[in-house]
Amino acid sequence: MDNARLYHAVERAVRARDEVLAVVAHDLRNPVGTIQLEAELVRHARPETIATRASHFANAVTRTVQHMTLLIQALLDAARADAKGVLLTRRAVAPPAFPPS
């Protein structure tokens, strides 16, 4: 009976891991697609617009890399919290006044 419970727990953990990996892959694929699209636009730009297009590409790549860095950092933070455990301190907090004045 214990083996069956452990087996099901492992199956749930594997499914949860697979779901997280799917979300991470999707979230990282989008910025990579942005870089690829911008690179294609530079590659096919007319000679008279190449400088403008290249500048736009550089800005887009910079923003996209920053976005990817945040995603990766969040993933690493989650893994670190999972490995070490998270200590939460509960305290009462008054809700903000509504509507804000």
Residue 74 in domain:
yes
Using pLDDT thresholds of 50, 70 and 90, give the confidence band for residue 100: low
Residue 101 scores a pLDDT above 60:
no
- Give the number of domains in the chain: 1
The range of the structural domain enclosing residue 28 comes to: 2-81
Whether the Cβ atoms of residue 74 and residue 27 lie closer than 8 Å to each other: no
Residue 93 in domain:
no
Q: Report in angstroms the alpha-carbon separations of 33 from 18, 29, 39, 50, 69.
A: 22, 6, 10, 20, 15
pLDDT for position 30? 86
Q: Global pTM?
A: 0.57
pLDDT, tens digit (0-9, with 9 covering 90-100), for 69-97: 888 888 888 777 777 776 778 889 888 88
Q: Which residue has the tokens 């749930």?
A: 12
Check which CATH number belongs to the domain holding 49 and give it.
1.10.287.130
Q: How far apart are CA 14 and CA 9, in angstroms?
A: 9
Q: How confident is the prediction for the chain on average, in pLDDT?
A: 84
pLDDT for position 98? 76
Residue 8 in domain:
yes
Summarize the confidence of residues 18-41 as an average pLDDT. Answer: 85
Residue 89 in domain:
no
Q: Which residue has the tokens 């594997």?
A: 14
